[in-house]
Structure 1
Amino acid sequence: MPSSTTKSSIRLGDLLHPIVAGLISVIVNYGGTFILVFQAAKVAGLSPELTASWVWSVSIGVGVTGLVLSWVSREPIITAWSTPAAAFLVVALGTTPYAEAVGAYMISAAAFVLLGLSGYFEKVIRLIPPGVAAGLLAGILLQFGIGAFGGMSIDPMLVGLLIGAYILLKRFTARYAVVGILAVGLAFLLIQGRLDLSGLGLQLAAPVFTQPEFSLNALLSVALPLFLITLTGQYMPGMLVLRNDGFSTSANPIVTLTGLGSLLMAPFGSHAFNIAAITAAICTGKEAHEEPSKRWIAGLAAGVFYILVGIFGVTLAAVFMAFPAAFITTLAGLALLGTIGGSLASAMADAKSREASLITFLAAAANITLFGIGGAFWGLLMGLVAYAVLNGRLPRRERVSINPAAEPVPRKGAAN
């Protein structure tokens, strides 16, 4: 627990930026990728009640686990549903009975609990060279940075306004740049009448229990791919996001708690939730707060926002999804510019790992997909192979693997 000095030093100004960072990460998650959940539900032929239960279970689960992990660790542990897994389910649920899919969700979640308790995942994470980790993060986020400017050809007024406002705010009040562009963008959309919320009403979501069924087919065709996709596409880059920004919380409790949460929520529709990667970067970098010791508040804020969405089910998710796509991509890209720049600088800083880090960056940015496994895994694998070949071996395991270019994070109870 933090000391009284830490508690008394948290002022209103310290709360604004991490809270807004948490809100933006939630908006980007729902506005950017949650449509995959609705697509998968449609493919599975789920009723509106079962679909609302899926929204409830994944939102509440993500909110509670992220809030608890951030509170206990005093670090910004942002959790989210597995986006690549949701994309996989759009196909898989077309041929798998829903009750068997729920059973497969539970098997996959139980495997993550065992992985977290074993401690092996943390050992693997600590073997990854900081430069390669930074290159991986920069490669994953590159498309979001490009997307911030790519929207100019689709919605030039909105995107141009956001970019112009960001640059001006960075010049005159850099601390409020991300907060400012969120406010400016929302005001512009409201003035233009592009946010029609008149037909929406708050309705409480009701969880619906589905009796799980277990089959060999679902084990091999759903549970195993779900586990591998979530591990390589979410947990691995998510932990490296934390390490890149100087946070050293062990992966073991994160994997264990999110796996346990997924196990409990699976009968209500939740496919998997885990530590976030892209949206976590919005909350772990300088844009969330200049002082790393204050960024954990973003984790609490994101958790609260997720829980609110879960309570009101599909209604609030629909609000976030009502935002224009250009607004979501530009907001996310601009909020991540600092992280992308810092990651590239860190990746190129060490001459010993520069070539391998560059390979990791380019391979991850290419977003290679083979055997159903996404670009984060292949970028990391290529980078590690390149590092081992160029240097004769992988680095020895270190007790704390954090980015040397990142700011130091005070331990629990330390004065700020």
Structure 2
Amino acid sequence: MLKDFSVQSLFMGCLTAFVGFASSFAVVLHGLQAVGATDAQAASALTALSISMGLCAIVLSTATKLPVSIAWSTPGAALLANAGAVEGGFPVAVGAFLVCAALIVIAGLFRPLGRAVAAIPAPLANAMLAGVLLGLCFAPVKAIGFNPLLGLPIIIAWIVVGAFKRLWAVPAALGAFALVLAFGVKVPDGALTSLQHSLLPSVELVRPVFTVAGLISIALPLFIVTMASQNIPGIAVLKVHHYDPRPGPLFAVTGVFSLMSAPFGGHAVNLAAITAAMCAGQDAHADPKRRYWAAIIAGVVYIILGLLAGAVTAFVALAPPILIEAVAGLALVGALSNSALNAFQKAESREAAAITFLVTASGVSFAGISGAFWGLIAGGLMMALSHGVQLLKR
């Protein structure tokens, strides 16, 4: 293995981890807090997720000699932000995280379940994801309405840097957020002392509570979104780069590491989709057989970043919540546009996708169950009705 190591893979691995963490931790942080996590619990979850991601990437890439990139479920975190707090608070959410992780393991080991997830119509899955993301993508505009002097620098940085290098757009927005926080926000007395105390990593064990509402509102939609938007595309990215992994074992292992992070507040660990292309591409190394080192290095850096998660969370907590929501919204603009395009591409499923999107985006809960689940059900019924009518016409 040491003979396969290269400086090129070292650089790409570090870049992958930085981009993966910086571009989406705001989404994860906001999603966890939306379902009731305290700042300490959110910091614990970031630490647990980052360490689980890093260890999972190291284990899988070392075992398979493939550049298997691992990430937290960014769409899943956006789903949490859309779902909001459930009755019973964060312990119910943690119970749902454990159920979701178990489902991912089962999907990897039990092929029929994996096939069933893959059989969910792509337009409906994309429409549900677009509906989940829509509310958070309004945050940049709301930030300008809240305070133009604070919100505009973040958006301008994202636009200007993104025009030259899309990959660095969100890190640039995050940098602008840090500058706004340093020079434009009055820091409360004693906050800096609290920040210094947060430099040491800490995790907080949350006792899970299992409820039907948590299962249907969080666990099932989180499982579907994670599989459809992360794990399955992650396999596709590897195949595009001429790797041929066995999907089942990879899914199962990510589920196991999700189970490890869930008691500490982590929502889901899965195959990376976007950053996977960085480790699997030619920039990681000219020889495809040596690119797995980039994923291993990324895993090591994720662990280091996870140990600093407490300080990151404490720093973010100094700012008005709408500002970090704006960064999160900007990070999801690309995902929103892609999911919306894929949802409404086919004319025959457009109405069903629209219903799924509208019900999900409404954010309305029925019987204590979030709109994401009902959106998928409503769209599925509409699609089934349309197919039935077409059969009767024949």
Q: Does the TM-score normalized on the shorter chain lie above 0.5? A: yes
Hey, what does 2:179 align to over in structure 1? 187
Does the alignment pair 1:261 with 2:254? no
Q: Is contact 2:177-2:324 (8 Å) kept? A: no
Hey, what does 1:176 align to over in structure 2? 168
| Offset at residue 14 of structure 1 (A) | 8.6
CA distance in 1, matches of 2:364, 2:283: 36
Q: Is contact 1:22-1:298 (8 Å) kept? A: no
1:126-145 alignment runs, 5 A limit:
126-145=118-137
SS in structure 2 opposite 1:169? Answer: helix
SS in structure 1 opposite 2:202? Answer: coil
Q: Which of 98, 116, 121 does residue 113 from structure 2 map onto?
A: 121
Q: Is contact 2:124-2:353 (8 Å) kept? A: yes
CA distance in 1, matches of 2:350, 2:246: 26
* TM-score where L is the length of structure 2: 0.69
Percentage identity across paired residues of the two chains? 25
| Offset at residue 123 of structure 1 (A) | 0.9
CA distance in 1, matches of 2:320, 2:373: 30
Hey, what does 1:390 align to over in structure 2? 386
* TM-score where L is the length of structure 1: 0.66
| Offset at residue 370 of structure 1 (A) | 2.8
Hey, what does 1:33 align to over in structure 2? 32
Could you say what the CA RMSD is over the residues aligned between the two structures, in angstroms? 4.8
1:65-80 alignment runs, 5 A limit:
65=56, 68=59, 74=67, 76-79=69-72
CA distance in 1, matches of 2:266, 2:165: 39
Hey, what does 1:241 align to over in structure 2? 229
CA distance in 2, matches of 1:93, 1:17: 32
| Offset at residue 25 of structure 1 (A) | 1.4
CA distance in 1, matches of 2:61, 2:341: 27
| Offset at residue 206 of structure 1 (A) | 6.9
| Offset at residue 10 of structure 1 (A) | 5.4
| Offset at residue 261 of structure 1 (A) | 3.5
The amino acid across from 1:273 in the alignment is H
CA distance in 1, matches of 2:145, 2:72: 33
Compared with structure 1, are the counterparts of its residues 367 and 56 closer, same or farther at alpha carbon in structure 2 (3 Å cutoff)? Answer: same
CA distance in 2, matches of 1:27, 1:152: 18
Does the alignment pair 1:274 with 2:271? no
Hey, what does 2:377 align to over in structure 1? 381
Does the alignment pair 1:161 with 2:161? no
SS in structure 1 opposite 2:229? Answer: helix
| Offset at residue 160 of structure 1 (A) | 1.4
The amino acid across from 1:180 in the alignment is A
The amino acid across from 1:64 in the alignment is L
The amino acid across from 1:189 in the alignment is L
Compared with structure 1, are the counterparts of its residues 128 and 158 closer, same or farther at alpha carbon in structure 2 (3 Å cutoff)? Answer: same
Structure 1: 5+ residue stretches without partners: 42-47, 95-100, 213-217, 395-416
SS in structure 2 opposite 1:238? Answer: helix
| Offset at residue 92 of structure 1 (A) | 7.7
Aligned residues: 361
Q: Is contact 2:101-2:268 (8 Å) kept? A: no
The amino acid across from 1:359 in the alignment is I
1:6-405 alignment runs, 5 A limit:
12=11, 16=15, 19-34=18-33, 36=35, 38-39=37-38, 57=48, 60-61=51-52, 63-65=54-56, 68=59, 74=67, 76-79=69-72, 84=80, 87-88=85-86, 90-91=88-89, 113-192=105-184, 194=186, 197-199=192-194, 200-201=196-197, 202-205=199-202, 222=210, 226-242=214-230, 243=232, 247=237, 252-253=248-249, 256-261=252-257, 263-264=259-260, 269-270=263-264, 273-275=267-269, 284-285=273-274, 307-308=303-304, 311=307, 314-392=310-388
SS in structure 2 opposite 1:222? Answer: coil
| Offset at residue 187 of structure 1 (A) | 2.2
CA distance in 1, matches of 2:54, 2:143: 30
Q: Is contact 2:103-2:223 (8 Å) kept? A: no
SS in structure 2 opposite 1:78? Answer: strand
- Post-superposition Cα deviations, 1:10-52, rounded to whole Å, max 9, x if no partner, equal 585796476324323124323552475644x9xxxxxx9x999
CA distance in 2, matches of 1:51, 1:347: 32
